[in-house]
Amino acid sequence: MFTVDQDGYIAALTGYFARQRPQATGIAITDLNIPVATGFSNETVLFTVSWTEDGEAHQDRLVGRLEPSDGPMFPPQGPGLASSCHLQHRVMSVVAEQGAAPLPPLLGYEEDLEPLGRPFFAMGFVDGEVPADNPRYTQSGFLVESSTPAERRRLVESGLEAMAGIHRIDWRAAGLDWLDPSGIGEPTQADQLRIWRGYAERELRYRDHPVLAQALDWLEANDPGDDRIGLSWGDSRIGNVIWQDHRAAAVLDWEACALVPTEADLGWWLMFDRMSFDDMGAPRMDGYPTREEMIAFYEAASGKEVRQPHYWEVFGAMRFCAIFVRLGDRWVAAGLMPDEANPAIPNMVTASLAALLGIENPTPSIL
Q: What is the pLDDT of residue 39?
A: 39
- Residue 252 identity (one-letter amino acid): L
Residue 131 lies in a domain: no
Number of domains in the chain: 2
**Nearest of 39, 38, 58, 37 to residue 48 by alpha carbon:** 58
- pLDDT (tens digit per residue) in 212-233: 999 999 999 999 999 999 999 9
Is 159 in the same domain as 36? no
User: Counting beta carbons within 10 angstroms of the beta carbon of residue 82, is it exposed (0 to 12), middle (13 to 18) or buried (19 or more)?
Assistant: middle
Cα separation, 244 vs 151, in Å, equals 11
**Nearest of 85, 117, 93 to residue 15 by alpha carbon:** 117
**Helices 291-302, 149-167: crossing angle, 10 deg rounding:** 40
Q: Which residues in the chain come in under a pLDDT of 50? A: 1-3, 37-39
On whether the CB atoms of residues 243 and 128 are closer than 8 A, the answer is yes
On whether the CB atoms of residues 317 and 337 are closer than 8 A, the answer is no
- Residue 200 identity (one-letter amino acid): A
Is 169 in the same domain as 26? no
What DSSP element (H or E) covers 56?
strand 56-66
Q: What is the pLDDT of residue 142?
A: 98
Q: What is the pLDDT of residue 70?
A: 83
Peptide bond into 289 cis (omega under 30): no
- pLDDT (tens digit per residue) in 61-90: 999 999 988 889 999 999 999 999 999 999
Is 168 in the same domain as 219? yes
What end-to-end distance do the CA atoms of the chain give, in Å? 19
Cα separation, 195 vs 193, in Å, equals 5
Residue 137 lies in a domain: no
Is 47 in the same domain as 110? yes
Residue 362 lies in a domain: no
On whether the CB atoms of residues 281 and 191 are closer than 8 A, the answer is no
Is 104 in the same domain as 237? no
Is 56 in the same domain as 163? no
- DSSP secondary structure letters along 65-99: EE--TT--SSPPSSTT---HHHHHHHHHHHHHHHT
Q: What is the pLDDT of residue 36?
A: 62
Residue 35 lies in a domain: yes
Is 203 in the same domain as 340? yes
Is 53 in the same domain as 198? no
What DSSP element (H or E) covers 13?
helix 6-20
Beta bridge partners of 58: 51
Beta bridge partners of 56: 53
- Alpha-carbon torsion, ordered 310, 312, 317, 321, to 10 deg: 140
In terms of residue numbers, what domain contains 66? 6-124
Other residues' Cβ atoms within 10 Å of the Cβ of residue 174: 17
